Amino acid sequence: MSTSTPATLPDEVPHQDGPTGPAPGHASGHASGNGAVGGGFFDPGMLVRAVPDALRKLDPRVMVTSPVMFVVLVGSVLTTVLALREPGDWFGWAITTWLWLTTVFANLAEAVAEGRGKAQADTLRRAKTDTVARRITGAGEERVPGTELRVGDLVVCEAGDTVPGDGDVTEGVASVDESAITGESAPVIRESGGDRSAVTGGTKVLSDRIVVRITTKPGETFIDRMINLVEGAARQKTPNEIALNILLASLTIVFLLAVVTLQPFATYAGAGQSMTVLTALLVCLIPTTIGALLSAIGIAGMDRLVQRNVLAMSGRAVEAAGDVSTLLLDKTGTITLGNRQASEFVPVKGATRAELADAAQLSSLADETPEGRSIVVLAQEAYGLRERRRGELGPAEWIGFTAQTRMSGVDVGRRRVRKGAAGSVTAWVRERGGRVPEDTRALTDRISQAGGTPLLVAVEDGGGARVLGVVHLKDVVKAGMRERFEELRRMGIRTVMITGDNPLTAKAIAEEAGVDDFLAEATPEDKLALIKREQAGGKLVAMTGDGTNDAPALAQADVGVAMNTGTSAAKEAGNMVDLDSDPTKLIEIVGIGKQLLITRGALTTFSIANDVAKYFAIIPAMFAVAYPGLDKLNIMGLSSPESAILSAVVFNALIIIALVPLALRGVRYTPTSADRMLRRNLGIYGLGGLVAPFIGIKIIDLLLSTLPGIG
């Protein structure tokens, strides 16, 4: 899958920006802030805070968004009116009470899920301060409130200043404290002209001076968007959730029609039923369990990402992550450690190792990349070359790397040294009438096939231009990556490694890491074209990126994860932002998305299955008098018709509460094939949904039968 585009120069290095693991303080902050994670669903403090929200959600305008629970609300109101008309009917009051509890429990599940985000939102609001900005004008600087800044304004920030708004650094470099956003106390570097130029309003400059171009309007900053998202204010139902809601609404209509038409037949048989009993029957037959938990499952899925410092811009993105079938991963920093290190100097025929080491060190004195520094260190330690300074060389012209030349080096007097990509250095030598030894190609191919990166070193002096040899740079694959890719393969996900390396190097790394395919010498256009090809085949694609040149591909991908260290363009294009800027987290995001879908499917299976048991509890109780033969269906041996119906209603309410922790935590996901996963869910949640009501209703019936007037 390689392209003909020139490879990225090997001594071009990815930026390093602080720790890449999850920010410990941040994740724990979610737990301690609201108790939902650390203390569990039954944490008293968390429940107390959620109850008022649950009661406010009884507003019919809110309840109507869930057709199933809206029917339960209407049934609760109806039985309440009937109970008020007959104050002495204990059965009517008991049914009414438990129908209201069913509605409240459903709202409580959603309120608890939303409560997790509110604690994080409070933390973000404390970080959002009113600042005074130093805006650059034609006459110098002017101090204005941060709320008056507009897109395109240039502001100055120095040590101790708070960044007044989201923007990109256009001048300077500074150390910035982003702990208010990421929870990570280690400062990060922000500088102009690269993929580390984005700064976020509310962060604090610790050193030096930078000029920032504002890229967002007041009220639309990154922190503002985070607050809305973690609070759930911007959450919209996903396509999968909408489809499931339509299914639940359809089932509700079917059972509503069944119950309505049941009464004429019951009257004809001389077994007419009260409106209270018919309401109880309807509530027990419709899928109230999943209807109550559906919203909480979606909110909890987004919250699990927030706990891992990933901000999902929509529930659609989380859901899409669960359906991803192609994963695009950058090689450098994701699959490999990223900092390629010089490991060996390999001279060509006619050159000595010492001569090559001397030239390689000389050409790297001005190279501040980790690769360049590693060449200087290797020359000193392995070949005994003394440490040299740029100043001691006298007048010298240092040649910086550019994407066009793909070389760097130095001109000292009549001596010229170049180091860079094999094709570029070879062309440079031939332009000067020099010679390229026959074994040059074999040496570079051997290093590439071994997974290394070859840097060719050449010199032009009194003897003309000539190649001296190759510097072998090693790019180490991260530990455990092969096992993680094997897990993804079992999940049915195809992995594609994206790299600017030549095809030989890319192939070697891909084989070592265990990815399914690779795209070598990749340009932004190549990435975008690959995503479109995959999507044209009906596949969902996920990728990570941090630069402006990644923005088109991030926008095209179904799941585009932008790094927080990246540019504003990248963060605007993606539908997720990783606050830790850890590219490998994309694999976790896919797992969380799959866990969300599996949790929703498992609880839907459980909900529909447990309705079956309620038939055996309520139907025999309703018609046993008119049709004594139906008593054979009373396989649970329930003590009386009233106890049977009430037990079913009580179980219907309590099972919601029992399943809330599972909805918030999520069903445990183990990478496996789709058919095995289906069998597992049917075995656990399908069979469990059938068995649990028989046991639960029987236990409740035994308890109710001990009460006077019920047995």
Q: Which residues are catalytic?
A: 330
Instruction: Flag whether 614 is marked binding.
Output: no
Of 630, 638, 546, nearest to 585 (Cα)? 546
Instruction: Flag whether 401 is marked binding.
Output: yes
What residue type is assigned to position 179 of the chain?
Answer: S
Q: Compute the radius of gyration of the chain from its Cα atoms.
A: 33
Q: Could you give the strand order of the β-sheet that contains 407-412, starting from the edge strand earlier in sequence?
A: 341-347, 464-474, 453-461, 415-420, 407-412, 396-399
149 is written with which tokens?
Answer: 């800044």
| 624 vs 631: CA distance, rounded Å | 6
Cα angle: 443, vertex 444, 445; to 5 degrees: 90
How many CA atoms does the CB half-sphere of 135 hold within 13 Å? 19
Instruction: Flag whether 419 is marked binding.
Output: yes
Instruction: Flag whether 367 is marked binding.
Output: yes
For residues 181 and 123, the answer to whether their CB atoms sit within 8 Å is: no
Instruction: Flag whether 289 is marked binding.
Output: no
User: Tell me, what DSSP letter sits at residue 648?
Assistant: H
Instruction: Flag whether 445 is marked binding.
Output: no
| 299 vs 356: CA distance, rounded Å | 60
| 137 vs 134: CA distance, rounded Å | 9
| 51 vs 506: CA distance, rounded Å | 56
Enumerate the H helices of 473-545 as residue ranges. Answer: 481-490, 503-513, 524-536
- Residues in contact with 428: Cβ distance below 8 Å, sequence separation at least 6, in sequence order: 407, 418, 458, 465
Count Cβ atoms within 10 A of the Cβ of residue 62 and give its class: 0-12 exposed, 13-18 middle, 19 or more buried. middle
Of 303, 283, 301, 281, nearest to 292 (Cα)? 283
Cβ atoms within 10 Å of 79's Cβ, excluding its own:
26
Q: Which residue bears the tokens 């790299």?
A: 499
Of 112, 117, 124, nearest to 302 (Cα)? 117
Strand bridging mode 453-461 / 464-474: antiparallel
For residues 388 and 358, the answer to whether their CB atoms sit within 8 Å is: no
Instruction: Flag whether 371 is marked binding.
Output: yes
| 450 vs 61: CA distance, rounded Å | 65
Give me the long-range contacts of 74-82 (CB less than 8 A, separation at least 24). 75/99, 75/279, 75/282, 75/283, 76/100, 76/102, 76/103, 78/275, 78/279, 79/275, 79/276, 79/279, 79/280, 82/274, 82/275, 82/276
Length of the chain: 711
Instruction: Flag whether 407 is marked binding.
Output: yes
Instruction: Flag whether 576 is marked binding.
Output: no
Instruction: Flag whether 526 is marked binding.
Output: no
Strand bridging mode 167-177 / 209-214: antiparallel
Instruction: Flag whether 640 is marked binding.
Output: no
269 is written with which tokens?
Answer: 């048989």
Of 329, 331, 324, 328, nearest to 592 (Cα)? 324
| 467 vs 445: CA distance, rounded Å | 16
Strand bridging mode 559-563 / 576-578: parallel
Cβ atoms within 10 Å of 285's Cβ, excluding its own:
23
| Residue set of the binding site | 367, 371, 401-408, 419, 546, 550
| Residue set of the binding site for Mg(2+) | 546, 550
| Residue set of the binding site for ATP | 367, 371, 401-408, 419
